[in-house]
Amino acid sequence: MKLKLNVNGKEYDLEIEDRKLLVDVIREDLALKGTHIGCDTTDCGACTVLLDDRPVKSCTVLAAQASGHKVTTLEGLSRSKEMKILQKSFVDNQGLQCGFCTSGMLISSYALLKKNKKPGELEIREALSGNLCRCTGYQGIVKSISEASKEIEKTQEKITEVAR
Ligand code: FES
Ligand code: FES
């Protein structure tokens, strides 16, 4: 089938098999390897991307279903200030070890902080309930997100001060 797909703000004209999954199009056709495949059974969340700003597991979405929507991968958020702060916080707070789950964790965290600027521990854990990590024990990840939310708030306060 022929398919138009908007990924990271860019329109792609693709010719793919009808049954091709979004994650496979992202990785194989668009060569965006920041989106990982950890299970292929909807369990791990390593393949999480934003679909119209909502986190989804791209191994459970047909590429055809994403047509007409806005798909955002980790690469598409690389210039975002919030994502840069999140990435630094994951490094500073031992939010990762092997890093395989990290892109999915970052996407879910980013989506959480967009709708809830000061999430509590339970809200963070709930937002990450679809993302599995086999290495960290989650404490470092939760701390990373919590610290990032404080840092993002500080940055916004500075911007407001400068604008006054
Ligand atoms: S690869 Fe999609 S949930 Fe694991
Ligand atoms: S850091 Fe290894 S799976 Fe999460």
pLDDT of residue 120 exceeding 80 = yes
Query: How high is the pLDDT of residue 157?
Result: 79
pLDDT at 163 > cutoff 70: no
Q: Which ligand does the CA of 56 lie closest to?
A: 1
CATH topology of domain 2-76: Ubiquitin-like (UB roll) (3.10.20)
Q: How far apart are CA 93 and CA 139, in angstroms?
A: 9
Q: In what order do the strands lie in the sheet with 70-72?
A: 10-15, 2-7, 70-72, 48-51, 54-57
Among 36, 57, 129, which residue has the most ligand 1 atoms within 8 Å of its CB, making it the best to mutate?
57
pLDDT tens by residue, 69-98: 999 999 999 999 999 999 999 999 999 999
CATH superfamily for 80-158 is [2Fe-2S]-binding domain (1.10.150.120)
What atom of ligand 2 comes closest to residue 98's alpha carbon? Answer: 2
pLDDT > 70? residue 140: yes
Mean pLDDT of 110-133: 97
* pTM of the full structure: 0.95
- The rounded mean pLDDT for the chain is 95
Please name which ligand lies nearest the alpha carbon of 36: 1
